[in-house]
Structure 1
Amino acid sequence: MRDIGILPANLAGIVLESCFYGTFLLLFISNVYFLAARGDSQTTRHNFTSLMFLGAAGLSLVITVHWVIVIYQAFFAFTYLDDKAAETTFYLDATHWTEIIKQTLLLTSILMGDSFVIYRLWIFWGRNRYIVILPIGSLIAVFVLGTLYVVSMWEPRLGGATTYTQPTFWVGASFGLSFLTTIYGTGLIAFRIVRTRTRTVMESPLMALLAILVESAALQTFWLTFVAIADFAGSYAGLIASDTLPVVIGISNLLIHTRVGLGWSQSSSKSQRSASTGKISIPLTSNSNRQDSQV
């Protein structure tokens, strides 16, 4: 993938991100409908003021601005610049204001995605604060390293530096820590789901696998892995992957809300009892007003 070229990579990233963004919008609108249609006015008001919905709304704003910046870059490069060399230089310039904003939004989406994984992990494990100490520490480190990287992009000496084919220590460390957070959270959430399902309900293996993949944010983990591998392989495929990472994080989290809105549950109504710890009831039906499971 080294010979893909930065201009074709950016065009492919625009197309892929736009397709994903359309899917994201459909999921977001569907979730707004599900929340508005569920229960009485008091329940609806609670749904729209819940922490997870406000987080999803904030993430949707980040994703939308990121997509707009990517579209603006394409129009600027292919409309106002004179030749291929100028277009290539523009996309390779890490200090251009559009690139700085785009990288800031990428960092913000990663931090929000990791926060959602940590919050769900905390809920699934009965609000056990010890289970989230490690990922919270990793989240703080990602914030610090990512901020240092974004600040460094303002330095004039980086003008014209390649953004994707020469990942800095800060970028590598940030992606590595975020990867560990998502792997840690996804693995423990999946383990909790499997153990709870085994004890409470028998269901289609396909539906069980689908629920595990959705609720553990496996899509987010997979795409972050793709970004890390492509970047450190020195491939411009990393550009495509990183440009689409914010919207993939959004889709991964909205799938969880959609699962709840459609009435999928982690078990049938017969299994609506607490997990083995007795601290949290994981299952959620479509008519439930509880918000702890809608994470």
Structure 2
Amino acid sequence: LGSLRTEVDLVFPLLHGPFGEDGTIQGLLELAGIPYIGGGVAASAVGMDKEIMKALFKQYGLPVGDYLVYRRHEWSSRPEQITATIEDRLGYPCFTKPANLGSSVGISKVHNRAELREAFKLALTYDRKVMVEAFLDGQEVECAVLGNDQPEASLPGEIVPGAEFYDYEDKYVKNDSERIIPARLSPEQTAEVQTLAIKSFKAIDCAGMGRVDFFVLKSGQVIVNEINTIPGFTEISMYPKLWAASGVPYPELIMRLAELALERERERHRG
């Protein structure tokens, strides 16, 4: 680590999923004394574990959809009881996903008991915890956040999935989804999304960057789905597109992220 420190001024950890987005690499960089872009160890860990993230959001009074979480041993020992609980509380369709993963890997949209069994089997290949979420019928909206202790929110954008839902293939391979910036929201809804994005960012004590995903229901209610502490930076990713539409072009965005990382490093050494 000592020799690495002399060669690296700043790290931009564009790594998704376990070890890259869960606080592991962030902890390594802090041990090495190397500044890095994005959330710290705690924010990254909370942002990766959807159960803890949603519990924290609820504690901060943020609106979240209904959900249930089960461990591997629980599903193995009482699948029929869990199935009945899911059907009674959430109904079909619902979504299952690994609690600690990203990029929509391992997610299933479930319509019946047979699909639920297969969905749990899939999710449990990735994680010991499975989150089951109620289906929310509405617009899928994303908002980018930039900053440290005084973050700013971008214009919201909207995802219209090309498949039944916005899955890994749609995000990274097929690119069949339609991206609409700004999102088709009222001025009041836009302001609410931006406010909730900043509150979500602050709730997990995030830093640098984050993308907050929402559902805007047909009733007009805005629901916080999750925060991504390392949003995508591919040519089709929403985070840079949202900031470009908000007046922050890509080169300026990268420079601001670097400045925010160095600012946080100075703050950390101040104690």
- Whether TM exceeds 0.5 here: the answer is no
Larger Rg belongs to: 1
Relative contact order, CA 8 A, sep 6+: which one is greater? 1
More strand by share: 2
More helix by share: 1
TM-score grouping bracket, smaller chain normalisation: under 0.3
